Amino acid sequence: MDWLRKTDWWLQVAIVICVIFAAPIIGGFTIFYGQIILGCIQLISGGFHFLTQLPALFRRGIIRYWTFVLLYLFICLLLGLLNNEILRHSKITLIIFFLIIPLMLSFYYLHWYRKLINYLSFHRELAGLIKS
């Protein structure tokens, strides 16, 4: 299971790197497509972590991640219900909202996920050392 978590983490890091380097070359919408792909992978990964038995230290982190994601999706829903005239005049705010916040959520999840992988690896190594 440890290799699956590490593979998942490296896949997410690779997507972030590809999005960051491909956006200036291909165009601005690359960031949105990359964030959609990364967001879907992180939601699936976060869902599996939420369902598994996590130490209390990491349980708070995943609950915080889900709270931020649900808040972000709620705000997206509210923005979708707003009048288009209001949204047309605040393009900079929307660009920041749709670019910066998902990237911050992605980096938060990657940071949290890396700490979890390191903790579980250390815990397994320590358990093996104690058994010897």
Radius of gyration of the chain (CA): 18
Say if residues 95 and 131 touch (Cβ distance below 8 Å): no
Residue 78's pLDDT is what?
A: 77
Residue 20's pLDDT is what?
A: 76
Closest CA to 18 of 38, 3, 41, 4: 38
This prediction has a pTM of: 0.69
State the Cα–Cα distance between residues 54 and 66, nearest whole angstrom: 15
Q: Mean pLDDT over all residues of the chain?
A: 76
Q: How many other CB atoms are found less than 10 A from the CB of residue 126?
A: 10
User: 118 falls in which pLDDT band (50, 70, 90)?
Assistant: confident
Each residue of 79-112: pLDDT tens digit?
Answer: 767 666 666 677 777 777 777 888 888 888 888 8
Q: How many other CB atoms are found less than 10 A from the CB of residue 116?
A: 19
Each residue of 42-60: pLDDT tens digit?
Answer: 888 777 776 776 777 778 8
Residue 84's pLDDT is what?
A: 65
Instruction: Provide the CA 42 distance to its chain's centre, in angstroms.
Output: 5
Judged against a pLDDT cut of 80, whether residue 36 lies above it is answered with: no
State the Cα–Cα distance between residues 106 and 68, nearest whole angstrom: 11
Position with higher pLDDT, 22 vs 7: 7
Domain boundaries, the chain: 2-131
